[in-house]
């Protein structure tokens, strides 16, 4: 059995802006934005179109990830807010969550600069395909439930809190595979694959998947392969991922936004019958041993191998809840304390209903957490880190 957790494929430098409704409202007024033009699907070519997109997401209470034409748009917008520089990418944030429990990991990076060197925890080693330092920050916006933005022709009110990601990141679009990855995989207990969603060149994607195939040939036969879906900039590219990786994937994870994209309709996340129908529809499209969907109300796995991951799913929900209430600065004791909190009653009802309707499915309801300062950034990434806790060969909790 392998002794390392290898997490990839690309890390990011994130500019996390502190939500300020007054600043957003002032920008909407300055740009003359009206309610009728709000959309999440228009190209983001300047700061005005960025604000239009943000307001459209806020109006729906939704989360998502979108491409911007230039990193300058990200930098200009972030300068209007109090901004914290952090590290992102599913693998990196999952590794940070594991680090809080004293669990080391090996990261696969495609870009690096002094921010990465300064902020990467000491427990996290890395292999990198970067040949020089670069900085193409990702804008991270998290907005609270009930935030009000007045427009010239009305107002919008967010029905829930959520997070948004905006980026133009050439290294992650290229997703070069480090030559050292194959060697790192020789001793892997688990491999996390994520990040292909940002690629936009289909021929290049095919090359990278072929290179990853070659590296994965060196995985131990009992290593777990976890693939985390994300908002593809070019949705049909998901099919290229499936063609290469489905035979290797043990667990295929996604959030509620991606679930609804695949079924091409809204899903009532608190209606067990609607949830079960959506899970079965996506699993027929992506026939993996375990399809795992994580949402703000519950996490549920379906598929022939779902049952063996019940403890991992419980740890994943616990990790995401800990980050939700405390951000990155939690300890192993905080993680354990989360387990003592009560679960969502409505989430329990959905889990119970789905487990009855889909034989072999396993689910865990979300925790009930009341906080005026929730962290909505990186919850899915922390969820993945929590899932991998049970696959870590050595665990040395921090005090």
Kindly report the CATH number assigned to the domain that includes residue 163.
3.30.1110.20
Asked if residue 104 and residue 209 are part of one domain, the reply reads: yes
Same domain, 60 and 128: no
Query: For residue range 331-352, what is the model confidence (pLDDT) as tens digits?
Result: 999 999 999 999 999 999 999 9
Query: Are residues 56 and 116 both part of a single domain?
Result: no
pLDDT on residue 1: 67
122-142: pLDDT as tens digits:
999 999 999 999 999 999 999
Residue 309 placed within a domain = yes
17-26 tens-digit pLDDT? 999 999 999 9
User: Has residue 376 been placed in a domain?
Assistant: yes
396 assigned to some structural domain: no
Look at residue 304 and tell me whether its pLDDT is greater than 90. Answer: yes
Lowest mean pLDDT among 56-70, 163-177, 372-386: 372-386
Asked if the model's pLDDT at residue 320 lies above 60, the reply is: yes
> Which residue segment(s) compose the domain that 210 sits in?
4-12+98-134+170-391
Confidence tier at 394 by pLDDT (50, 70, 90): low
92 occurs within a structural domain = no
Q: For position 295, what pLDDT does the model report?
A: 95
325, 384: one domain: yes
Indicate if 120 and 263 belong to the same structural domain. yes
pTM of the model: 0.88
What total number of domains does the chain contain? 2
Quickly state the pLDDT bin for 399 (edges 50, 70, 90).
very low
Alpha helical stretches, state H, the chain: 21-30, 47-60, 71-78, 90-100, 114-119, 170-174, 181-185, 202-216, 237-245, 256-263, 272-285, 310-326, 332-338, 345-357, 379-388
Name the least confident of 176-180, 241-245, 377-381: 377-381
Q: What is the pLDDT of residue 397?
A: 47
CATH number for the domain harbouring residue 330: 3.40.1190.20
Residues 209, 189 within the same domain: yes
Beta strands 362-365 and 105-109 are unpaired
User: Residue 313 corresponds to which tokens in the numbers above?
Assistant: 């799913």
pLDDT band at 61 (very low <50, low <70, confident <90, very high): very high
Whether 294 and 342 share a structural domain: yes
Evaluate whether residue 91 is within a structural domain.
no
Q: Are residues 129 and 174 in the same domain?
A: yes
**Domain co-membership, 208 together with 329:** yes
Which residues have C-beta within 8 Å of that of residue 60, sequence separation ≥ 6?
A: 40, 159
Average pLDDT, the chain: 93
What are 31-48's pLDDT values in tens digits? 999 999 999 999 999 999
Check residue 337 and give its pLDDT: 95
Strands of the sheet with 298-302, listed across from one edge: 124-128, 105-109, 4-7, 188-193, 224-228, 251-255, 290-294, 298-302, 362-365
Co-location of 212 and 322 in the same domain: yes
Give domain status of residue 22, yes or no: yes
Whether residues 202 and 261 share a domain: the answer is yes
């Amino acid at each position: 059995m392998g002794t390392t957790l290898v997490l990839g494929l690309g890390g990011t430098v994130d500019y996390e802006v502190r939500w300020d409704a007054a600043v957003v409202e002032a920008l909407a007024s300055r740009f003359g934005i009206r309610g009728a033009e709000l959309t999440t699907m228009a190209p983001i070519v300047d700061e005005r179109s960025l604000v239009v997109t943000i307001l459209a997401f806020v109006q729906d209470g939704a989360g998502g990830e979108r491409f911007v034409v230039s990193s300058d748009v990200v930098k200009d917008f972030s300068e209007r807010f109090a901004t914290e520089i952090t590290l992102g990418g599913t693998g990196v944030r999952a590794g940070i969550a594991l680090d809080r429990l004293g669990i080391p990991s090996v990261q696969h990076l495609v870009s690096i600069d002094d921010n990465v060197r300064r902020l990467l925890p000491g427990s996290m080693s890395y292999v990198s395909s970067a040949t020089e330092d670069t900085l193409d920050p990702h804008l991270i916006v998290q907005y609270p439930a009930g935030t009000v933005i007045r427009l010239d022709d009305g107002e919008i009110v967010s029905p829930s809190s959520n997070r948004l990601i905006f980026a133009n990141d050439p290294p992650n679009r290229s997703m070069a595979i480090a030559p050292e990855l194959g060697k790192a995989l020789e001793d892997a207990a688990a491999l996390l694959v994520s990040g292909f969603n940002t690629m936009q060149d289909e021929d290049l994607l095919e090359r990278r998947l072929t290179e990853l195939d070659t590296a994965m040939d060196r995985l131990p036969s009992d290593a777990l392969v976890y693939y985390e879906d994300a908002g593809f900039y070019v949705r049909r590219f998901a099919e290229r991922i499936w063609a290469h990786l489905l035979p290797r994937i043990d667990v295929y994870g996604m959030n509620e936004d991606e679930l609804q994209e695949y079924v091409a309709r809204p899903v009532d996340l608190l209606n067990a019958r609607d949830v079960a129908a959506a899970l079965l529809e996506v699993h027929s499209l992506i026939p993996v041993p375990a399809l795992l969907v994580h949402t703000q109300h519950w996490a549920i796995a379906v598929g022939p191998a779902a049952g063996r991951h019940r403890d991992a799913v419980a740890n994943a929900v616990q990790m995401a809840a800990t980050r939700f209430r405390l951000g990155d600065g939690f300890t192993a004791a905080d993680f354990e304390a989360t387990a003592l909190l009560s679960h969502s009653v409505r989430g329990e009802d959905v889990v119970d209903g789905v487990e009855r309707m889909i034989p072999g499915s396993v689910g865990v309801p979300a925790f009930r957490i009341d906080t005026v300062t929730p962290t909505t950034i990186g919850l899915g990434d922390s969820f993945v880190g929590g899932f991998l806790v049970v696959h870590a060969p050595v665990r040395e909790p921090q005090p």
